Chains A and B, each alone.
Chain A
């Protein structure tokens, strides 16, 4: 059953055509409002660097030190289904089957037992990099071309989620400022880009012990190197790094200590398990469960895996 068009539609008066004066008036008003809005947007954009500097300084004065490192990284164990992976650019990395530890060989079936594989690398967080860029005393001016170029790399990385683009900008930076004073910050951005791209080998090449020693946040960068090494199945090189990080002399900043120490413990536990040191791995995980209640469930689940056949 169709409904007919209401006759009232046909009785409506025609709408008078807009006059040229009316049209011109509207156009002028639109152009003026568009100009005002554009100017306001430009002003707001100009405020952003100032706000960033202000926030960085506020953090600097309130905390007197670096913000904490994010929570522990995703592990290959988690990827095998034992635990849901956390947000990480490494989440898609396939799990690596590892031979069982020597103690389990006699009882284990002939097929390789999927034991823990090295932890993944937790990304360097942008606000930390940004804060460091702004904190540089030699570069208080946000319009400095060197700082601008690094800001552009950071924007590619964080706003456009384009680590490859960030690396391209960093190449330009390298060519234009081979001896720039913001090189440490450039290294941090490069490290974060490489983490996002899952380029473990490049990350290891970048974060050499010599290079890391001269950089701010050397503790975190060493941890990143250790995690990247473990990703590359180079656990024997990674374990000493984790152990060094766990020593009290290196971890002298309480707030940073906590999360870094947890990551280092977990990374070392998995690497130890990976290299057949199951008892030592178990000790690390028990320590982690005891010292970091929020990570206890994860540590216990990993422990149960280690205690399996």
Chain B
């Protein structure tokens, strides 16, 4: 079967017939777009233009898809792209951070009571203010683990770190976040 699923590469290298098996952009978009937008929102924090960042992510997906060799899961590949796009965006907008942060966050669940909504807004604002002071990789790790509940293997693969060091990194990231929250007088 493997032979049937193989074809001769123009350069003489026999490789799997992954062209037929590889996911198309359309399929990836259909299946993962909502998740990707949620990741973008979670990573970028309140006030970010999720649509613009989502476009940037999927543009990169579109461009990189021919080179995607299926060595990692689509999900972890996408998370890696999201992390890069968001971190780059954050680096660029740093000087305007105050202005961006002043924008109201439009995305709260309509089911929340006004008090809950206020509390959630406060919690979000404090948490992301603390996250802003963390190393971008720590931020990506915490969001992936604490919010998105990706598995250890997925996180290690998406962030390009060794599985064996993941928990140490998570511990350090939590410690760093705790310190930042203490500086903001929040436990």
Contact = CB atoms under 8 A, between A and B. Distances in A.
Interface of A: 2-9, 11-18, 22-23, 25-27, 29-31, 33-34, 37, 162, 165
B33 A18 contact: yes
Contacts of A34: 59, 62-63
B138 to A, nearest CB: 12
Contact of A22 (B51, B123, B147): B51
Interface of B: 11, 29, 33-34, 37-38, 41-42, 51, 54-55, 58-59, 62-63, 107-109, 112, 117, 119-121, 123-124, 126-127, 146-147, 171, 174-175, 177-178, 181, 186-187
Contact of A13 (B55, B120, B174): B120
Contact of A30 (B41, B58, B120, B127): B58
A6 B34 contact: no
Contact of A5 (B37, B41, B174): B174
Contacts, number: 84
5 contacts: A2-B171, A6-B174, A13-B117, A17-B38, A33-B55
A33 B112 CA distance: 37
B127 A12 contact: yes
Contacts of A11: 119-120, 123
Nearest to B176: A3
Given A3-B171, A30-B62, A8 B120 contact: no
Contacts of B181: 6, 8
Contacts of B126: 8
Contact of A15 (B33, B42, B55, B178): B42
B41 A15 contact: yes
B146 A5 contact: yes
A25 B51 contact: yes
B54 A26 contact: yes
